[in-house]
Structure 1
């Protein structure tokens, strides 16, 4: 029998620190209704904690069903996380067309003037490929996220803007894992419940 020089259950940590514009990829055995096999984009990270949005959990609603005066928006309403689930947030790739947005990557922005985003959608200037809506958000108190990363609940990775805006949410966790390399690619075949084999 040959001894392996790595542990398949631990992977090879990329070594990135959490920061605005990076993603958190849930390790395969992280459980719970919000974070099981989830990908979270971080929109804030600092001494006061972290804020992010789960990219691949659908609410099974559409934004134009819950937002007054929003018409014909084809994208889904995503569950951003367990905090303030009765509030609405959005990420977009419209840059300074939306005043007061916070830049999170070279091409992606968080929030901004809500009336402007509605107008851009209603006039056909923007669509679901450029705007993603979330109910609620994911939040961590100071040091909490770092502890979860140390406990190997999350892998921190650089963001792929296309992955963030992708609406094929059933496959983006697997895609993000595979982008990390061979050991992580193997993780995508683990059952969601480890008691199933």
Structure 2
């Protein structure tokens, strides 16, 4: 779904094809990446990223803890001509409160909806893992606006992408931790607390992490 006419000028790694779980022990689709303090790229500092696809062709994920500033979901529906402005007051409660996030630096003019698996569009929805799916067509926004969308969903503008082997190298260099995902960390309202909560899921207090890279 296109959410803006402006497209990124820089190139990006091609999104890898979906892969069945178990194709390789190092593949992290369906997992959360947690940025280490050593992360120098400010675009990913303190970020929590849900990995949607990871294979020998690269990786693609959505940052789930970075709000998209002043962008409001009901207003976005008006901009996309999904609803007329007077109809905003008729939107379902979950559409009114739906979170809009900065999903990553690639294709920031495109929207990606991470959602629960109770909604599916043939040839458009990608099942990922543990009841989580990804849909990137405007039809899911229409369904949400009409009250027939998924029970849980977030809209992300853009995504994070890695070239073949790049994510593996960054993990080896202590750029990222990873852990099992859960619906609350992905869809929860406490966006600002997700980073610390993801670390707690690993039994780590933020102060325990050294800002210096090290290798076991």
TM-score, normalisation: structure 2: 0.72
Contact 1:95 1:108 in 2 (8 A): no
How many Å separate the matches in 2 of 1:193 and 1:46? Answer: 29
Alignment of 1:29 onto 2:38: yes
Partner of 1:118: 141
Unaligned runs of 5+ in 1: 1-15
Which residue of the other structure, out of 199, 207, 211, is the alignment partner of 1:189? 207
Q: CA RMSD in A?
A: 2.4
Q: Classify 1:146/1:191 alpha carbon distance in 2 versus 1 (closer, same or farther; 3 Å).
A: closer
1:79-136, Cα deviation, whole Å (9 max, x unpaired): 1111111111111104354333111112110115531x12321222347x61111111
Q: Distance in 2 between matches of 1:83 and 1:118?
A: 21
Kept in 2: contact 1:75–1:167 (CA 8 A)? no
Which residue is 1:147 aligned to? 169
2:152 counterpart of 1:130: yes
Contact 1:95 1:101 in 2 (8 A): no
Cα displacement (A) at 1:19: 1.9
CA distance in 1: counterparts of 2:136 and 2:111, whole angstroms: 12
d(CA) in 1 for partners of 2:67, 2:40 = 17
Gaps of 5+ in 2: 1-24
Distance 1:135 1:44, change over 3 A: same
| SS of residue paired to 2:161 | strand
Partner of 1:49: 58
> Are residues 42 and 158 of structure 1, via their aligned partners in 2, closer, same or farther at CA, if it must alter by over 3 Å?
same
**CA-CA distance at 1:172 after TM superposition:** 0.7
2:186 corresponds to 1:173: no
Partner of 2:183: 161
Total equivalences in the alignment: 173
User: SS in structure 2 opposite 1:43?
Assistant: strand
Deviation of 1:165 after TM superposition, in Å, equals: 1.0
For the Cα contact (< 8 Å) 2:102–2:157, is it kept in 1?
Answer: yes
User: How big is the shift at 1:167?
Assistant: 2.3
> CA deviation digits over 1:45-80, x for unaligned, max 9?
111100001000111212332342155422221011
SS of match in other structure, 2:141: helix
